Amino acid sequence: MRKLLATVLLLPVLALGDAPAGDSAWHQAIADDDAGYGEVAVLYQDAGNTIKNEYASNDVTPRLEFHCTPGEPAVTARIDWRRFISSFSTEVGFKVDGGKFT
């Protein structure tokens, strides 16, 4: 029942529009939550571009994730960079549809 509820809560995310270039498929998973809530539903998509890892020796593909935790009223968004990101000079821009980046 929790998996069904989590899936239903994540379905509106699919209606946001076309996915970015690259692997345009959205994927679903059930994962253990690090905060101790148990299982969470995860909807994710890999980026259309790669970035270098922290040693600049390999390419890694960042991932956009949406998490839905049973018993919590909110869906959280997360970017998994797949590498260490410096907190001193990192900027991330967000936009929805044709809007401006913030």
Are the CB atoms for 38 and 32 separated by under 8 Å?
Answer: yes
Are the CB atoms for 69 and 33 separated by under 8 Å?
Answer: yes
Write out the chain's pLDDT in tens, 102 residues: 344 434 444 444 433 334 444 556 899 998 877 666 678 899 999 998 898 988 889 999 999 999 888 777 888 888 898 888 776 766 777 777 888 887
Q: What residues pair up with 28 in beta bridges, in sequence order? A: 43
Nearest Cα neighbor of 41 from 49, 53, 33 is 33
pTM for the model stands at 0.60
Nearest Cα neighbor of 1 from 39, 27, 35 is 39
Nearest Cα neighbor of 69 from 45, 100, 37, 91 is 37
